[in-house]
Amino acid sequence: MICLDLFLGFLKVGCFAFGGAYGAIPLIRDVVMSYGWLSDEMMSYMIAVSESTPGPIMVNLATYIGSSQAGFLGAVIATSAVVLPSFLIILLVTALLKTVLKNKYVQAVLRGLKPCVIGIVLATGVYMVLGNCFGAISEIRLNLQAVVITAILVALKFGYKRFAKNKLSPILLIVISAIAGIAVYGI
Amino acid sequence: MNILFDLFLTFAKIGTFTFGGGYAMIAMIENNCVERKQWITHDEMMNVTVIAESTPGPIAINCATYTGYKKAGFIGALAATLGIVVPSFVVIWVISAVMDNFLELTVVANALKGIKIAVGILILDAAVTMIRKMPKKKLPRAIMICSAIVMLCINVFAWNFSSISLMLIAAVISLTIFILNGAPDQKGGAGK
């Protein structure tokens, strides 16, 4: 049953989403792909949409995927499921278990979890960038247009940091990438 | 004004006007809840941020739940958390209703091809930022590199292995090594 799947799938995401929004993206990809809820393409678009609309990225993705699978009810179920674990954990920690996070065994578990999340995010980023430029492993081919856009965006991202002394905002990068897409693929 | 209503509205405002989530939201929450409303102190805010980093879920949700609970117990936590979720829920709900028609336009399709590339770069950039902030020790580095390699293989060769299993393995390895070392008391705590 789709509503139960949505609930369990996003509950899993909510329970394991360490490391903020970008830590959660690989997890959501994993869950979404394994249930076949969205294609790889749609997933990327929705990450961009979530990044460009207000609110936590995880909540945005859950709402969209829920509504695409089971309408309004699906959106409510997926969103609640993704929020529920952090809601309950904070309540527990503030109300009862103030010291549990300082426990040395809990800390040892967290010391293993955090680098693993970073590794997962790194792998996802590398895979997405290379996948865009060279296609999947089963049919490797150079995608020249994608390489051009990648080069432009990377140059902008690092060039901007050097001259403006702060980071190019993700939203601005997405806007520029959209324009570059229209220009490069349009011709 | 009723405190529950106030909690809901304040967090709804924060939810409506912060883009990109995460740390952008912390600044907004600090500004509203600590400086203007004085619902929680700056120190409390710092504590929540640290707890948020050690617990799963969006940081903004963690902060909202904590502040709401402090001010008005369980119902307060519920009101604040709903406040932060409802705006993005509504925006995405509207977008999802028009998304399919929107995708059929060629210009939009081309723009999205460009955006797809930006998303990859943003994720890579987030990873690099996190690696820089990681403790510069052998074990975390080894776990990070191994996880990255396994995850890359999962993606490339479509292995049937979830990232959650990978995280559980990393947690078990870290705990085992800690216990084998005689569970020494840590100075300074984890992750920082």
What confidence score (pLDDT) does residue B189 get?
Answer: 45
Average pLDDT over every residue of B116-128: 83
- Residue of A39, A57, A113, A114 best to disrupt the B interface, most CBs of B under 10 A: A114
Identity of residue A169: S
Cβ-Cβ contacts under 8 Å for B177 (sequence gap 6 or more): A108, B139
At residue B191, does pLDDT exceed 50?
no
- Residue of A44, A122, A127, A179 best to disrupt the B interface, most CBs of B under 10 A: A122
- CA dist., res. A48 & res. A61, Å (int): 10
- CA dist., res. A49 & res. B122, Å (int): 13
Nearest chain B residue to A125, by CA: B124
Tokens 């990648």 correspond to A150
Nearest chain B residue to A147, by CA: B117
pLDDT band at B20 (very low <50, low <70, confident <90, very high): low
pLDDT in tens, B49-96: 777 777 787 878 888 898 999 889 999 999 999 998 998 899 888 888
Average pLDDT over every residue of A120-140: 82
Q: Is A20 within 8 Å of B88 when comparing Cβ atoms?
A: no
Q: In chain B, which residues have their Cβ closer than 8 Å to the Cβ of A55?
A: 15-16, 18, 21, 60, 84-85, 87-89, 91-92
- CA dist., res. B49 & res. B54, Å (int): 9
Q: Long-range CB contacts (< 8 A, 24+ apart) of A32-38?
A: A32/A65, A34/B162, A35/A5, A35/A9, A37/A65, A37/A68, A37/A69, A38/A65, A38/A68
Give the burial class of A106: count Cβ atoms within 10 A of its Cβ; 0-12 exposed, 13-18 middle, 19 or more buried. Answer: middle
Region of poorest pLDDT, from A79-88, A147-156, B176-185: B176-185
The first and second tokens of residue B149, run together, are 């390699």
What confidence score (pLDDT) does residue B146 get?
Answer: 92
Contact B73, B40 (CB under 8 A): no
pLDDT in tens, A35-70: 889 888 888 888 878 877 777 888 888 999 998 888
Cβ-Cβ contacts under 8 Å for B125 (sequence gap 6 or more): A125, A157
Q: Is A118 within 8 Å of B131 when comparing Cβ atoms?
A: yes
Q: Which helix (H) or strand (E) holds A56?
A: none
Of A45 and A77, which is predicted with more confidence?
Answer: A77
CA atoms within 13 A on the CB side of A28: 33
What angle separates helix B106-133 from helix B59-103, to the nearest 10 degrees?
160
Of A92, A83, A25, A52, nearest to B85 (Cα)?
A: A83
Share of chain B above pLDDT 70, in %: 91
What confidence score (pLDDT) does residue A73 get?
Answer: 92
- CA dist., res. A170 & res. B4, Å (int): 34
Nearest chain B CA: its distance from A101 CA (Å) = 8
At residue A143, does pLDDT exceed 60?
yes
At residue B152, does pLDDT exceed 70?
yes
- CA dist., res. B8 & res. B64, Å (int): 10
What confidence score (pLDDT) does residue B149 get?
Answer: 93
Q: Which helix (H) or strand (E) holds B188?
A: none
Beta bridge partners of B19: A54
What confidence score (pLDDT) does residue B148 get?
Answer: 92
Give the burial class of A21: count Cβ atoms within 10 A of its Cβ; 0-12 exposed, 13-18 middle, 19 or more buried. Answer: buried
At residue B160, does pLDDT exceed 80?
no
Nearest chain B CA: its distance from A163 CA (Å) = 18
- CA dist., res. A130 & res. A122, Å (int): 12
Cα–Cα separations (whole angstroms), residue A58 to A50, A63, B65, B160, B184: 8, 9, 16, 24, 36
Strand extents, DSSP E, A49-137? none
Q: Is B112 within 8 Å of A30 when comparing Cβ atoms?
A: no
- Which is it for the CA torsion A53, A56, A61, A64, positive or negative? negative
Q: Is B171 within 8 Å of A112 when comparing Cβ atoms?
A: yes
Of B58 and B172, which is predicted with more confidence?
Answer: B172
Nearest chain A CA: its distance from B72 CA (Å) = 12
At residue A156, does pLDDT exceed 60?
yes
Residue B183 main-chain phi, psi, to 5 deg? 45, 60
Q: What ranges do the domains of chain A cover?
A: 2-142
Tokens 């002394």 correspond to A165
Q: In chain A, which residues have their Cβ closer than 8 Å to the Cβ of B115?
A: 44-45, 48, 174, 177-178, 181
What confidence score (pLDDT) does residue B21 get?
Answer: 58
Q: In chain B, which residues have their Cβ closer than 8 Å to the Cβ of A181?
A: 110-115, 117
Nearest chain B CA: its distance from A172 CA (Å) = 10
At residue B192, does pLDDT exceed 60?
no
Nearest chain A CA: its distance from B162 CA (Å) = 7
Q: Which among A57, A112, A122 is the nearest to B170, CB-wise?
A: A112
At residue B18, does pLDDT exceed 50?
yes
Q: Is A123 within 8 Å of B56 when comparing Cβ atoms?
A: no
- Which is it for the CA torsion B156, B160, B166, B169, positive or negative? negative
Q: Which among B81, B117, B149 is the nearest to A146, CB-wise?
A: B117
Strand extents, DSSP E, chain A? none
At residue B121, does pLDDT exceed 50?
yes
The first and second tokens of residue B111, run together, are 């723009």
Nearest chain B residue to A133, by CA: B117
- CA dist., res. A61 & res. B88, Å (int): 10
Q: What's the full length of chain A, in residues? A: 187
Q: Which helix (H) or strand (E) holds B135?
A: none
